Amino acid sequence: MSIGTLLVTGGCGFIGSNFIHLLRQERPAWRIVNVDALSYSGNPDNLRSLESDQQYEFVRGDIADAGVMKPLVARCDAVVHFAAESHVDRSILDSGPFIHSNVLGTQVILDAVRLAGGAKRMVHVSTDEVYGSLSLDRPEERFTEETPLAPNSPYSASKAASDCLVRAAHHTFGMDVVTTRCSNNFGAYQFPEKVIPLFVTNLIEGRKVPLYGDGRNVRDWIHVEDHCLGILAALEKGRAGEVYNFGGDNERSNVEMTHMILKLMGRGEEMIERVKDRPGHDLRYAIDSGKARRELGWTPRASAWPEGLDRTVRWYRDNEAWWRRVKSGEYRSYYAQQYGAPGR
């Protein structure tokens, strides 16, 4: 597959911006068009270093706006679709934005790709949360690509719906689409409401870290760089209509993660604040990445703890100006002045 111009949706977010930085290193000849609505977690600061790069173009726009998406898709050779509302707690409070972006937005992009004709490939970036929850008592169990979808939160339900739309596009129209599902990401540029940057930045500020319930819930942590390499491999080598899982082989309970961060930060258990558990909190996620290893030649390299976690903690220590601007909302005035309203 030959790519001259790649459309990336949601490229100002955590994973999307890391993916664009990766492409500038690994595929410098590609032109990248990044469309992002700059909602609360989309931050132009993540890509400020590329503003003068002639191979990079930013468009502020809503992926659910066909008037924005159709011309963008038409002039690109492939699409990598990151744009999504992604925070479970926010989805519990109000699922409306999740349906708008994750379901309607995906449908609009699929329609634009189909109507553009040709052989455009679309990679749809999803989540392991669509599979539901695994038991804590059966550590040998892992999610595979054949695991039935059983979402348990409004967020994961919206992502499962978008996954089904992508599947239907392939089976109904023969579209060249690939879906990826990953475990929990960590690394640079993650919005500080997410657990690892939230804990690290709270501790830097001398505030306690909120631990849900008994902390027994288990997550498989993958470094965002490993995930982005997997997405690139899926774009270039994945089979149309297939799903590929990416995990870090790095399962940790929330309480274990908390203690590791406290140790790296030189703080004690007195900094833990036990808070009421999240409604419907999934017990365990674990990914079987065997298919991606076999078919794509992918393997995680940066995800192992404590090294990967220590590297991430140091990034937030060294980039305090970035996360303080995010927490204060100062970056919003910057992009309001630069980009105006979505669609401009």
pLDDT tens by residue, 170-181: 999 999 999 999
Residue 195 lies in a domain: no
Residue 121 lies in a domain: yes
Task: State the catalytic residue, choosing from 56, 131, 155, 189.
Answer: 155
163 in catalytic set: no
Q: What CATH number corresponds to the domain at position 164?
A: 3.40.50.720
Number of domains in the chain: 1
Q: Which domain holds residue 166?
A: 5-189+223-250+282-301+330-339
Distances (CA, A) of 235 to 25, 76, 94, 211: 16, 14, 33, 37
129 in catalytic set: yes
pLDDT tens by residue, 16-54: 999 999 999 999 999 999 999 998 778 899 999 998 999
Cα–Cα dist 14/16, whole Å: 6
Residue 18 lies in a domain: yes
Task: State the catalytic residue, choosing from 36, 45, 85, 128.
Answer: 128
Residue 216 lies in a domain: no
How do strand 243-246 and strand 177-182 relate by DSSP bridges?
Answer: parallel
Q: What is the mean pLDDT of the chain?
A: 92
Task: State the catalytic residue, choosing from 36, 62, 129, 225.
Answer: 129
pLDDT tens by residue, 248-304: 999 999 999 999 999 999 999 999 999 888 787 888 999 999 999 999 999 999 999
Residue 325 lies in a domain: no
User: Which of 186, 185, 155 lies closest to 280 in space, CA to CA?
Assistant: 155
pLDDT-based confidence at residue 340 (cuts at 50, 70, 90): low
Residue 162 lies in a domain: yes
Residue 61 lies in a domain: yes
What percent of the chain lies above the pLDDT cut of 70? 96
Residue 203 lies in a domain: no
> What's this model's pTM, rounded to 2 decimal places?
0.93
131 in catalytic set: no
